[in-house]
Amino acid sequence: MSLIEWRPDDRQLHLTNGRLSLILAVHEDGSLGPVHLGAPLATGRAYGHLVPRGWTGFSNRLAEPIALEVPTPGSGDYRVPALEVVQADGASVLQLRYREHRIRAGKPSLDGLPSTYVEADDEAETVEIDLADEPSGVVVTVAWTIFRDRAVLARSIRIRNDGRAAVRLETAMSLSLDLPDAAWTLVHLAGAWARERHVVERALVPGRQSISSVRGSSSAAHNPFIGLRREWTTEAAGEALGAALAYSGNFLAEVEVEAYGTARLRMGINPETFAWTLEPGAAFQTPEAVVVWTADGLGAMSDAFHSVFRERLARGVWRDRARPILVNNWEGTYFDFDEERLVAIATVARDLGIELFVLDDGWFGRRDDDTTSLGDWFVDRRKLPNGIDGLSRRIAELGLGFGIWIEPEMVSERSELFAAHPDWAFQVPGRPRTEGRQQLVLDLGRPEVVDHLAGVLGDLLASGPISYVKWDMNRWLTEPWSGALPADRQGEALHRHILGVYELYRRLTTRFPDVLFESCASGGDRFDAGMLAFAPQAWTSDDTDAIERLRIQWGSSLAYPQSSMGAHVSAVPNHQTGRVTPLATRAAVAFFGAFGYELDTAALSADDQAAIRDQVAFFKAHRGLFQFGRFVRLRSPFAGDGNETAWMVVAADRRRAIVAVYRVLNRPNPRVDRLPLRGLDETLDYRITAWPPGLDGVSATNEITRRGDDLQANGLLFDVERHVSPEIGDFSARLFVLEAG
């Protein structure tokens, strides 16, 4: 069945897959606009009545809230524009009029940019609509893709200069969506280093409300995801609209509520730090925005993002594969290690059942602290006399995979690379360079820098049995000026840099298809859909404290699947918070992700080793469910006083599930508590077992066989905790494994 209908008489395009409808209409003046995004509507009908007619009291009335697909400034639409093109005469007025469209099966890829994809043409349909401004020769191609079996759309635009003079793009949004009302609550993910992606909600008010980055990375301050929900929308029911940008640099996501109470949502490269010259014949492709609409609550919105990101954004052999349990030496040793110490950590890890050893920062140049050597990607033989080759072979002989940390985009002033190529770092000649973590950023907009890095890093990855790469990025950009660009094109520097980052990723992931890449940026400073297209998992946060992770992982789950979240058990007192949490709690949080340990295994007590051996065995028994099951949020750490969090994962066939219940502070004589579950098969009987074992009162109440309907209606029972409270303590976690008999 066709997913896109064109009605020539009504000049209307209708994209629908039975889950949602997007209807675009060519208005009387030839402009194009959305008239409906939401519930699936019948095809074979005209929806022109949904176009606001305006008040007829005056002719040529300006500022009527007509929905526009690519709004431009200066000709009567006073809302935020999606496209600003300065032409040879200095004007930025355009009249974009429908010219033609093409409907095709499947989904084309985007030039140089990450995007969702299909594996077979019948998975999706794409319409490309050309809008042209005759006087300037500017042609905008709007591309909308609708997926057949997902509540997902993808949208980007391409701007081509068919005129005779150069033009300059000053705004080029990936998405612009005019909504007929503004009765929405904005949901977004805000934070900082070590407390990334906390959920923030605010009702829309008249005016502009935006989130953005100007830091050169999508950033931990704001994530390139934005959600809208109705006041009454819950996790399980109600309308929700989400948009995520597949882009890792400066972005803007904004909603403007205008005078008549309509809302315009726009999302794309941040215009504040962007300009792009288009010579005659040249074209510019924006990044892709992924849009989800559902009437079934925020949970269903997340389901749609998770499945499309996991299955049709992430690529490569690791996309669907269970991820190895790793041990990373960073928090265990920081820069202070040698080969014997690393092998000792790996040896104990192997005995505990861990599968991959990851060597973090400090193995190259003369890097004993963070003041030197970035860019010098050759081994420090003082620490590793047998090289990466020798170490990785010893690790392989232990039966473990070997992974290595790199930070390709960076250079230390104290490095051989900087001495040889000082001009490769971002800087403005004649001005001081702003350092961050004593390092500078290489200008990857210069092809020779990408070539150099692809060469040296390619040699490194080919030098031994390396099966995993942690690709870090530890500072924001400053002095965004490129020696490779003329003065009037400096506005292109940051976007060209990101394109260079993607090109380097593309080359290395193509050359090493079996290597698992994990992206990282001081933890979660670049946790976005752009990175996910190259690295199927990302280091979620440098904050490994289990209690802090509840909020971080919950917030991240709004858009990103748990398989994308690197999650490690670390030592206590925790290095970020000083908090001492039980080992079982640390594991019970980290299980819901790309699981691993980040501590000195050789320093563990015998008891802790035994506990970790059990954790690893338990995780292996349920790994597929933890990483790829449907993630259902039950109790929010952002609600009330945040003392309790609960979530669960459910297998695709609903025959297995694992429920996690976390409590920050224990309280004496607590209230009666029941936790209704979701996503189960109401007709199945589930055998329930608790992990970790112990807490007999709690287990006895819940470790019985119960039917799905009962578990969803009445939930797990924690009434008994009133009596066993002292056994539980602060920072508790319990998992319940549900298995259909």
662 alpha-carbon distance from chain centroid = 25
Closer of 288 and 360 to ligand DGJ (Cβ):
360
Question: Hey, is 674 helix, strand or coil?
Answer: strand
Relative to beta strand 468-471, strand 401-406 is parallel
| Closest CB to ligand DGJ among residues 97, 366 | 366
Pick one of 235, 472, 503, 644: the residue that binds ligand DGJ (CB under 6 A). 472
Contact yes or no for 70/82 (Cβ under 8 A): yes
Convert residues 192-211 into a mask of x (bound to ligand DGJ by CB under 6 A) and - (unbound): --------------------
Compare residues 334 and 481 and give the one whose CB is closer to ligand DGJ.
334
Minimal CA–CA distance to 155: which of 176, 138, 133? 176
User: Of 504-512, 517-525, 527-535, 550-558, which part binds ligand DGJ (CB under 6 A)?
Assistant: 517-525
Give the nearest distance from C-beta 27 to ligand DGJ in angstroms. Answer: 49
In whole angstroms, the minimum distance from the beta carbon of 322 to ligand DGJ comes to: 22
Phi/psi for 148 (5° steps) reads -70, -45
DSSP 412: E
DSSP string, 273-318: G--EEE-TT-EEEPPPEEEEEESBHHHHHHHHHHHHHHHHTS-STT
CA distance linking residue 554 with residue 233, whole number of Å = 17
* CA distance linking residue 445 with residue 97, whole number of Å: 34
- Per-residue contact flags (x/-) with ligand DGJ for residues 379 to 408, judged by CB under 6 A: --------------------------x---
CA atoms of 477 and 474, how far apart (whole Å): 10
Which lies closer to ligand DGJ via its Cβ, residue 130 or residue 196? 196
| Binding segment (CB under 6 A) for ligand DGJ, from list 67-75, 199-207, 227-235, 515-523 | 515-523
Crossing angle for the helix pair 583-590 and 546-556, nearest 10 degrees? 10
Q: Does 542 bind ligand DGJ (CB under 6 A)?
A: yes
Residue range at the interface with ligand DGJ (CB under 6 A); choices 374-382, 519-527, 580-588, 690-698: 519-527
Q: Could you say whether residue 520 binds ligand DGJ (CB under 6 A)?
A: yes
* C-alpha radius of gyration, the chain, whole number: 27
412 near ligand DGJ, rule: CB under 6 A: no
* Cβ-based nearer residue to ligand DGJ, 191 or 692: 191
Task: Identify residues 245-284 at the interface with ligand DGJ (CB under 6 A).
Answer: none
| Nearer CB in complex with ligand DGJ: 474/478 | 474
Alpha-carbon gap, residue 699 to 167, rounded angstroms: 69
Pick from 707, 550, 694: nearest CA to 634: 550
Which region, judged by CB under 6 A, interacts with ligand DGJ, from 219-227, 292-300, 516-524, 606-614?
516-524
Q: Which is nearer to ligand DGJ, 369 or 488 (CB)?
A: 369
CB 654 within 8 A of CB 679: yes
Residue among 16, 5, 1, 23 nearest 103 (CA): 5
Selected from 333, 474, 482, 581, the binder of ligand DGJ by CB under 6 A is: 474
| Number of residues forming the site for ligand DGJ (CB under 6 A) | 11
Q: Which residues are catalytic?
A: 472, 542
Among 235, 361, 409, 492, binds ligand DGJ (CB under 6 A): 361
281-320: contacts with ligand DGJ (CB under 6 A): none
CB 86 within 8 A of CB 168: yes
Could you say whether residue 560 binds ligand DGJ (CB under 6 A)?
A: no
Q: Does 527 bind ligand DGJ (CB under 6 A)?
A: no
d(CA 336, CA 340) in angstroms, rounded, equals 12
**Contacting ligand DGJ (CB under 6 A), which of 77, 196, 360, 600?**
360
The minimum distance between CB 601 and ligand DGJ, in angstroms, equals: 17
Minimum Å gap between C-beta 174 and ligand DGJ is: 28
**Which of residues 126 and 218 has its CB atom nearest to ligand DGJ in the complex?**
218
Using alpha carbons only, give the angle 688, 694, 699 rounded to the nearest 5 degrees.
35
The DSSP letter of residue 358 is E
The distance of closest approach from Cβ of residue 473 to ligand DGJ in the complex, given in angstroms and rounded to an integer, is 9
Q: Burial code of 624-641, b = ≥16 C-beta within 10 A, e = fewer?
A: bbbbbbbbbbbbbbeeee
Span of 495-503, 520-528, 609-617, 703-711 interacting with ligand DGJ by CB under 6 A: 520-528
Of 394 and 568, which CB lies nearer to ligand DGJ in the complex structure? 568
| Minimum CB–partner distance for residue 539 and ligand DGJ (Å) | 5
522 touches ligand DGJ (CB under 6 A): yes
Contact between 653 and 663 under an 8 Å Cβ cutoff? The reply is no
Shortest distance (Å) from residue 637 CB to ligand DGJ: 22
With respect to ligand DGJ, which residue has the nearer C-beta, 229 or 526? 526
Supply the minimum distance, in Å, between the C-beta of residue 335 and ligand DGJ: 9
Q: Is 178 in the site for ligand DGJ (CB under 6 A)?
A: no
Tell me the closest approach of the beta carbon of residue 466 to ligand DGJ, in angstroms.
Answer: 16
**Which of 690, 737, 733, 358 has the alpha carbon at shortest distance from 583?**
733
CA atoms within 13 A on the CB side of 34: 22
- Give the one residue of 251, 539, 592, 662 binding ligand DGJ; rule: CB under 6 A: 539
According to the binding rule CB under 6 A, does residue 631 interact with ligand DGJ? no
The whole-angstrom separation of Cα 149 and Cα 333 is: 47
Comparing every residue's Cβ against ligand DGJ, the nearest one is 361
Q: Is 523 in the site for ligand DGJ (CB under 6 A)?
A: yes
Q: Shortest approach of ligand DGJ to residue 315 CB, angstroms? A: 23
DSSP 555-590: HHTTTS-GGGEEEEEE-SS-TTT-----HHHHHHHH
Contact 413, 450 (CB under 8 A): no
Shortest CB 210 distance to ligand DGJ, Å: 27
Q: Facing residues of 372 across strands?
A: 414
Determine if 330 is a binding residue for ligand DGJ (CB under 6 A): yes
Distances (CA, A) of 313 to 60, 206, 269, 385, 471: 45, 35, 19, 40, 18
How far apart are CB 567 and ligand DGJ at their closest, in Å?
Answer: 12
Which residue, 287 or 596, has its beta carbon nearer to ligand DGJ?
Answer: 596
Cβ proximity to ligand DGJ, 197 vs 663, nearer residue: 197
Number of H helices, E strands in the chain: 14, 38
Closest CA to 549 of 581, 509, 505, 507: 581
Q: What are phi and psi of 472, to 5 degrees?
A: -95, 170
Distance CA(513)–CA(495), nearest Å, equals 26
167 close to 161: Cβ distance less than 8 angstroms: yes
For binding to ligand DGJ (CB under 6 A), which residues are involved?
A: 330, 360-361, 405, 472, 474, 520, 522-523, 539, 542
